[in-house]
Chain A
């Protein structure tokens, strides 16, 4: 077969054994790869109601049909497991040469099952798998761990590893690869830690054939040219940190744990200011022509650089009410080195800081707090405590949802999460399509699985509330296809007709005859399967919701612009269920599952 190996590698770290299984072509046609294939494998390999930290929870690395094709931005992979933050599907994407290494061993996906008694570093190559003792790596940062393995394993290995946060099973721990890139959201690093896997390294050079190499070669050339055009200008120049000043001006930048009351000026941490005043270099993933990564040299940090993104800038800055650039850059770097998601880390700290200000933190918790001088110092010490699970950090490492539930006293109302996943830097009271997407997303408060903010920012988005459901469905299905092929989201505007062009490319890779509608249908199928997984794991309708603060604290008196009522969200959710052809309770009718070919 073209473009795929049709193989899954299944590794059991309990018994230190492995086996290969065939992957049927029909499954690949239905779920493609990446996030979609990961959802299929999770549904089938995770026993119902499995505890996320149980050995039975599979940790799945998925490549895609486009990995290895050398098409721009396609060196990407998905990591999927049952999320320790949400208890539902957890999936996260990362990029660069590790994707090539995973596929190079001859697998379309790698499933890790079981749990080890001792810390392991796995070495996977064409000669087999070594389960090496990793006790000497414990406590090391992600960059030290990866650097050590590069040095000891020799050239050609790609490594995914966890930092101390993953070792300590911080629920929002990430998995790091290729010099600090992160599979950041939903806590896959904690699942890896629960299995006592410090690192897994892949090396392989198994070649794949492509059905129409000649045509792919021309597509490769054309996409590379187009990817350097107007459609990616922002990402190539300032990167995503350009969002900060724009979002602040448009009042869609969440500030102070979404209270949006601050006397601070965040212009000094804008992408423009950082670009002008700091040393910034550009980097890019393997096989990417865009180069969105901005590496900022940290002031007073020696030669240390941080890979700075808008979401980290937002979560460790305005969200926690901090505008000191050095603190934010150091905090972002710290999270990457410890291996934890910056959004959830920042948001959990923001919740805690507000609860402290309101005198709602119990005395027994305050006694666990380190001595601090100011908010900047407090943030630094909280992040450190979380990564170690020391003192108050042991409670905060559970995330804002669980910590607030433990305190009560109304603190749940301003724990800014959906289904246990903390909210990203898009203000739902101003961006109503995004508000709906955050509420209904299968992975919790997620901005990446719908890109629904695009509808709010577009001039043509002024439809009524009942039109939002269709928009979110379109965005989710489109994103599911992107995340399964896998294209980088930043290349999306390069396509004139996404489904037409992508189905043609997929056919040239695989030799299939998939039409654009069938490809779009894959997106719908993937999202329905993700939802069906959540239903199986105990999802109830009330969990499609937003934090209470969103409804009770409008940003202004203008009802149409900067507020959102619970009843309006309810109308939008109904429109979403209708557009999905689900029941009024958000369940998927048997007939719908059958029409999509989903067997449960």
Chain B
């Protein structure tokens, strides 16, 4: 079953991509962080090396994922479902 996700960009990732929200659709239901990163890099190549580590199929350490605005999760724990919002946030919390 296909699923749709909303990726929300924060911090410099939003500035680079020029978008707040990105709608992604996947043909398969089993979607992980690596799939999202690959898709984002295709749509916004300029994110690679500044937000995304495409080679490592992960975010750079300056960013973290957050699912639906609830808690922080490492990519290996992400279980994405249809309709989810995946937030990409700066990892530094200070200020």
Contacts and interface: CB of A to CB of B under 8 A. Distances in A.
Interface of A: 230-235, 237-243, 245-246, 249-251, 271-272, 275-276, 309-311, 451, 453-454, 457-459, 462, 489-490, 492-493, 561
A233 B92 contact: yes
B72 A457 contact: yes
Contact of B11 (A232, A246, A310, A489): A246
Given A238-B11, A246-B11, A272-B11, A233 B90 contact: yes
Given A272-B11, A457-B72, A459-B72, A243 B61 contact: no
B90 A242 contact: yes
A240 B95 contact: yes
A243 to B, nearest CB: 5
Contacts of B14: 272
Nearest to A240: B95
Contacts of A459: 64, 71-74, 77
B92 A234 contact: yes
Contacts of A458: 72
Nearest 7 A/B pairs, CB to CB: A240-B95, A233-B62, A234-B90, A237-B12, A230-B62, A310-B95, A459-B72
20 contacts: A233-B90, A240-B95, A242-B11, A242-B95, A246-B11, A250-B66, A250-B69, A271-B11, A272-B10, A272-B14, A276-B15, A310-B95, A451-B94, A457-B72, A459-B71, A459-B72, A489-B94, A490-B94, A492-B94, A561-B70
A492 B91 CA distance: 13
Interface string B52-77: 00000000111010100111111001
Nearest to B16: A237
Contacts of A243: 93, 95
Contact of A249 (B15, B69, B95): B69
Contacts of B12: 233-234, 237-238, 242
B7 interface: no
A251 B69 contact: yes
Given A230-B62, A459-B72, A459-B73, A235 B8 contact: no
Nearest to B14: A272
Given A272-B10, A311-B95, A459-B71, A246 B15 contact: no
B37 interface: no
B61 A231 contact: yes
B47 interface: no
Contact of B93 (A232, A238, A453, A462): A453
B34 to A, nearest CB: 18
Nearest to A237: B12
B74 to A, nearest CB: 6
Contacts of B94: 235, 240, 451, 453-454, 489-490, 492
B87 interface: yes
Interface in B16-61: 20, 60-61
